[in-house]
Amino acid sequence: MLEPQDEVSEREVQQGLRALLVDASFATAIGALNSGVVLLALALHVGVSTVQIGILAAIPLFTQILQAPAVSLVERLRTRRRISVISVFLARLALPIYAVVPFIPDRNVAAASLMAAALLHYGLNAVGACSWNSWMRDLVPEEELGRFFARRTLFGTAVSAVATIVGAYALQQAGTDRAFGNSIFCGLYLFGFACGLVSTVALARVPEPRMPPGSDDVPIRRLLTGPLRDRNFRQMLRYLASWQFAVNLATPFFTVYFVRELGFGMGFVLIFSFISQIANLAVIRGWGRLSDHFSNKSVLSVATPLFIFSIVAMAFASDVDGMTARSAYLVMLHIIMGAAAAGVGLASGNIVLKLSPGGAATGYLASNAIIGAIAAGMAPIIGGWASDFFAARKLTLAVRWTSPEGAAELGVMFTHWEFFFLVSAVIGLYALHRLSLVQESGFTGRREVVSHIVYSARRNLGNISSVTGLREAMSFPAGELIKLRERKMAIIQGLQERLRSSLSLSTRRQVTGWVLEAGYAVPPPDPSLDDLLDRIA
């Protein structure tokens, strides 16, 4: 059933697209009920430490690096449906593990089990996303791309809205009694596992066009390291890496701050996440029009400080009196952060494409994704460790003056998380400095931009944060990378066929001299043409 097909009929394609809508609906339910804020709520419920929260927040980010070696796995096996279905099925076996975590009496064992399940869940989902992206590129007709994925997004958003409301109510109830909370979390993850089984069956029913025959491998290392020799692109990477580090230093700990310092329940925090998602979707087209009319760098120069401002404003949330006013304040901040994250995600993806030479955009996007994942993954680990340092310190800014009526003082004091958010904002200001050194030039075709947005990170689960859209700027272009390598393989095969009958021995020796001058390994005397062409390739 999971074998690729030599030919896929129009009827089979349409049946596959309908199955993908079913897959999207149930997979979105898993994302809303079992990952992101809900997973962090489970971590807080079992009593993990701040350092362990940082590690848990880093797992969804670091595991995206697995998509790079997964490209080689796809090209070696050349059965994308089998890889994707098996990967997501095994990934969803983590959900029953999550379900039993609340009943583990030892807190350290519970925390270790939670992180092991997260590694399984996010790591295998990254492998499945790699093969899925390439699979969809060959299956969905180009003329139906926009219409189909718009419908798929609509289905996912509707399911996410309902699931978020259910999840918010469940999390509020989980906070009333620990024993009852154990049952709530167990029920959420077992229900998610049931959704995962339906999603996996639907995905297995989608046909897969057979990949063209493989040939000599084109090392992925060359595609990833080549862009690093581009000076202007290195400036762009410094901006994106510092920005990802800054926001992921703070945002994974917003939920901890809301619950432990501000007194909110986890249900309200999940609502904040949904509000951020709606804001993200509402403004993405507007950011796109602005980037077309002005430039991507102009959008980044607005969206980046807007997000940094929101992080600074978050430090003042504890000064807002009353839970109603505080809730309204946090809703406003999540709307701003969701909108700003959408602008940074869209514009950074576009500018990476514009900075890429013709035909080399995929390697540039892949390099950006890996460096961004490393920077973003390191941030919450460092943040979890540093939070204990900030917990024992405070920062007071005060202005004192004397008048005939007596002495007076006006000031503000930052402690623990507030101080922590200010440090994150300072690093964000450094990211703005790196952005000022980037030179934007060139033109990016609309089809290439849309293609990347459509196919990137479609099967990735959300980050552990109440803010949506933080990972859009570092989605790994697995489908495009596989296509690029296939094109290079086809070029090499064509070169071999055209030259096999035309190169004399003297010409081979002459080319061998060129290979030596270029610094490659010395080939054997009078090498065979196949051996020589392999070296040239």
Angle (nearest 5°) at CA 466 between 461 and 472: 50
pLDDT over threshold 50, residue 227? yes
Does the pLDDT at position 358 exceed 50? yes
Residue 521 burial (10 A CB sphere; 0-12, 13-18, 19+) = exposed
28-42, 274-288, 507-521: least confident range = 507-521
Residue in the block written with tokens 């798929």: 152
pTM of the shown model: 0.77
Q: Give the CATH number of the domain where residue 34 resides.
A: 1.20.1250.20
Residue 276: inside a domain: yes
Q: Let me know whether 372 and 518 are in one domain.
A: no
Looking at the domain assignment, is residue 2 inside a domain?
Answer: no
Same domain, 378 and 518: no
Same-domain check for residues 218 and 353: yes
- Based on the domain organization, do 478 and 506 belong to the same domain? no
Average pLDDT, integer, range 219-245: 82
The arithmetic mean of pLDDT across residues 404-424, rounded, is: 71
What is the extent of the structural domain holding 193? 10-402+410-488
- The answer as to whether 380 is a domain residue is yes
With 0-12 / 13-18 / 19 or more C-beta atoms within 10 angstroms meaning exposed / middle / buried, residue 51 is middle
Using CA atoms, how far residue 19 sits from 12, 16, 378, 461, in Å, is 10, 5, 38, 20
The mean pLDDT value for 297-316 works out to: 88
How many alpha carbons fall within 13 Å on the CB side of residue 432?
A: 17
142 and 199 assigned to the same domain: yes
Residue 495 forms part of a structural domain: no
Q: Are 454 and 513 contained in the same domain?
A: no
Do 424 and 525 reside in the same domain of the chain?
no
Length of the chain: 537
**199 or 347: which leads in pLDDT:** 199
Q: Considering the domain boundaries, does residue 3 fall inside one?
A: no
Q: Same domain for 244 and 95?
A: yes
- How far is Cα of residue 458 from the mean position of the Cα atoms in its chain? 9
| Domain assignment of residue 493, yes or no | no
Is 188 a residue whose pLDDT tops 90? Answer: yes
Residue 390 lies in a domain: yes
- Whether the CB-CB separation of 363 and 227 falls below 8 Å is answered with yes
Q: Are residues 19 and 82 in the same domain?
A: yes
Per the structure, the count of domains in the chain is 2
Over 90: is that where the pLDDT of 416 sits? no
The average pLDDT across 247-266 equals 87
Q: Are residues 398 and 511 in the same domain?
A: no
pLDDT for 457 equals: 40
Residues 460 and 506 in one domain: no
Residue 13: name the closest of 208, 288, 193, 145 by CA: 208
Amino acid 463: pLDDT: 64
Residue 494 maps to a domain = no
Q: Are 450 and 516 part of one and the same domain?
A: no
